[in-house]
Amino acid sequence: MNLILGGGDVGKTTILDAVGLLLSASNAATISEADYWRRENTDEFSIEGIVSLPLSVDPNNFSVQLMPWDWNGADAVMPGDPQDGDVPEAKHPVYRLRVRGTADLELVWEIIQPDESTIALSAAFRKKIGLIRLSADDRNDRDLRLVFGSALDRLLADPAIKARIAKKVAEQDFSGAVGDAGVKALEALDQRLKAASLPSGVKLGLTSSQGLSIGALIGLLADRDGVALPMTSWGAGTRRMAALEIAASTQADNSVTVIDEVERGLEPYRLRQLIGILKSTFGQSFVTTHSPIAIQCSAHADLWYLDAAGAIGGLNREKIAPQQQRDPETFLAKLAVIAEGPTEIGFLRRLLRLAFKGDPLDCGVRVCNGQGNAQMLALLEAIGMTGLKFAALADDEGVQGGRWGVVKAAMGARLLRWEGGCTEEAVLRHLPEERLQEFLKDAEGGSNGERLRTLADRLGLEDKSLPAIEAKLVALKSSLRALIIEAATGKPDGSPEGKRNDWKAHGRAWFKSIAGGDELAGYALADDVWPKLEGSVLPLLNAILTSVDRPAVEHLNHV
């Protein structure tokens, strides 16, 4: 299962269309010059796919011997000549299929042999590969009708059935419904035809115009309160599930399923059910989605991310799995900004609101939780491998410097990693001494007992009053700033036996929450602090702005 993700209009459906066209079981698809790159139909387009054929697909119907390529794990290659030395045994036969849009607006399906010669790829053969296609548009009932190559057609697997149905329908006698006057008119016509030596013996029956197959009119009916209703008139979700069930009952492993907007028309519980069917029943599927639920329950799937520039890259399943479970929306944003923890989320949100002069989410910029330094690094690496655009804010915990260096080189201004510390330190470091005490006050101007408690604990004081703390600090020749930073970051060093976890939790009383991050951003934006931070923070904000086609700003209007 391949889940193709990405923002709007980046080309996800185009990828599904390409797969769909390549394996389409009919030659009826038409193309126009709008399907060509920049409408230049003199430049051909081609869609190529490398497939392995299951044993049930017999390639012997071709008049020419079909010869395989070898799959080396990344591409189709020719097996080496053993006369050139010890070449690896070729064990994985694959075939290259191609559909070309020619300069004459025609579609040509072919198989590419290892010598680049081609063999025509017949519709009958493509039908055997068995494409199941659920598109996002509302005319999505093809598979419920007896059209060539549809799921229903394959289910019945009887090439003569349409002819027999047509014959049966043609035998219907409509004379009863015509009425006496009609019968007389027909008889008169018959006489005239006879007199003119034209075909005679006329009666009414079902005829179709050219190109309209009787199969298109024959479809599944299902019972609803005693009335047979066409399946096609059920809801979108039900139609899709039914089409998949039909397909599932015919072929087990050799099909390719293409589903646009898998969540369409389905409640979360049915969506989970459908993804379960896909996982258990079908060969290979290509799915697009806008649903975090679909992403969350596709733990077995390969995720592909299509960025705003149209580049696609695979995401390393292991590295992104935690993010996929906890914050699947990360993968649905136009630009995801990975923030290391709640502090950074609150901090960034506030700054981004100012930069965007509104909610960045409106522009598809989502600030996501990176779940801590180590997991975030893995996630950024997975994303970075694909060359996709993400932004991030991270702390420097003094570990994995090399890996972070690689990520930074790839992401440039889109990654801000505080030098030698964390967000709290970066801000507090620049706050004037006299304002430090503001942290120890609550909203009403009283003392913030919780924060004072963490400071007192760290000094081993029973008394958490500020004077007591200050007195102890003087005695220790230590500063209030250093103590606040230690408490705010939950530094556990020096904690008494059994208190280590308590000390670590101190951060929560300070800024280790989204609200805390927001508060911290407020201090950062203060006139006496911002000029010292602007140099490192503004490039990140501007990188985010420009990534979503918004103009960069010279100054953050933080008033």
Partner 1 sequence: MSDASVAALLRSAEPLVVIEAPAGCGKTFQGAAYAREASQALPQGRVLILTHTHGACGVFANRTRGLSSRVDIRTIDSLVIQVATVYRRALGLPDNLSTWAYQNDGEGFDIMAIKVAGYMERHPIVREALARRYPLVICDEHQDASPAQHRVIMALRAGGARLRIFGDPLQAIFVSGSKSNTAMAAALSRWEGLKAASAFDVLDHPHRWEKGSPELGRWVLDARADLKARRPISLVQSAAAGLIVLRATNVAQVRTAYQVCRDDRRPIDAAAAKEVMVLAASNDRVRGLSAFWDRRIPIWEGHTRSALADLVRTTREQSGQPVALAQSVLTFAGAIGVGFSPSSHGDRLVKEVREGCARPARGKPAHIQRIARHILDEPSHHGVAGALGELHDLIEAKADGFGDIKIVHRGELRDAIRLKAFTCPDEGFAEIARRRSHALPAPPSRSLSTIHKAKGLECDNAVLIAGDQDQFGDTDYARCKLYVALSRAKRRLTVVVSHDKPSPLFRLA
Considering only residues 30, 38, 74, 115, which one is a binding residue for partner 1 as defined by CB under 8 A? Answer: 115
SS (H, E, C) 467-483: HHHHHHHHHHCCCHHHH
Nearest residue (CB) to partner 1, 119 versus 541:
119
Considering only residues 30, 42, 60, 209, which one is a binding residue for partner 1 as defined by CB under 8 A? Answer: 60
Nearest residue (CB) to partner 1, 70 versus 307:
70
CB of 48 to partner 1, least distance (A): 18
CB of 83 to partner 1, least distance (A): 6
| DSSP helix, strand, coil percent of the chain (3-state; round to 5) | 45, 15, 40
Instruction: Answer for the pair 181, 175: CB distance below 8 angstroms, yes or no.
Output: no
CB of 60 to partner 1, least distance (A): 5
Q: Which residues contact 321 (CB under 8 A, 6 or more apart)?
A: 299
CB of 77 to partner 1, least distance (A): 9
Nearest residue (CB) to partner 1, 38 versus 91:
91
CB of 283 to partner 1, least distance (A): 20
- In our burial notation (b when 16+ CB lie closer than 10 A, e otherwise), range 482-517 reads ebbbbbbbbeeeebeeeeeeebeebbebbbbbbebb
89 belongs to the binding site for partner 1 (CB under 8 A): yes
68 belongs to the binding site for partner 1 (CB under 8 A): yes
Binding mask 32-51 for partner 1 (x = CB under 8 A): --------------------
Binding mask 163-202 for partner 1 (x = CB under 8 A): ----------------------------------------
Nearest residue (CB) to partner 1, 52 versus 250:
52
73 belongs to the binding site for partner 1 (CB under 8 A): no
Q: Say how far apart CA 95 and CA 109 lie, in whole Å.
A: 13
Nearest residue (CB) to partner 1, 86 versus 104:
86
Identify residue 104 by its one-letter amino acid code. Answer: D
* Phi–psi pair at 288, nearest 5 degrees: -110, 155
Instruction: Answer for the pair 404, 377: CB distance below 8 angstroms, yes or no.
Output: yes
Nearest residue (CB) to partner 1, 118 versus 495:
118
Nearest residue (CB) to partner 1, 60 versus 557:
60
Choices 54-62, 149-157, 224-232, 324-332 (CB under 8 A): range interacting with partner 1: 54-62
CB of 251 to partner 1, least distance (A): 17
Nearest to 282 by CA among 266, 264, 258: 258
110 belongs to the binding site for partner 1 (CB under 8 A): no
82 belongs to the binding site for partner 1 (CB under 8 A): yes
Q: Are strands 93-101 and 45-51 parallel, antiparallel or unpaired?
A: antiparallel
Q: Which residues contact 258 (CB under 8 A, 6 or more apart)?
A: 16, 19, 20, 131, 132, 133, 134, 135, 285, 286, 287
CB of 130 to partner 1, least distance (A): 17
* Phi–psi pair at 257, nearest 5 degrees: -115, 135
Q: Say how far apart CA 137 and CA 239 lie, in whole Å.
A: 12
Nearest residue (CB) to partner 1, 56 versus 478:
56
Nearest residue (CB) to partner 1, 32 versus 117:
117
Q: Say how far apart CA 532 and CA 525 lie, in whole Å.
A: 10
Considering only residues 49, 79, 283, 322, which one is a binding residue for partner 1 as defined by CB under 8 A? Answer: 79
385 belongs to the binding site for partner 1 (CB under 8 A): no
Considering only residues 29, 50, 87, 202, which one is a binding residue for partner 1 as defined by CB under 8 A? Answer: 87
Q: Which residues contact 490 (CB under 8 A, 6 or more apart)?
A: 503, 504, 505, 506, 507, 508, 512
Q: Say how far apart CA 383 and CA 391 lie, in whole Å.
A: 11
Binding residues for partner 1 (CB under 8 A) = 58-60, 65-68, 70, 78-84, 87, 89-93, 113-115, 117
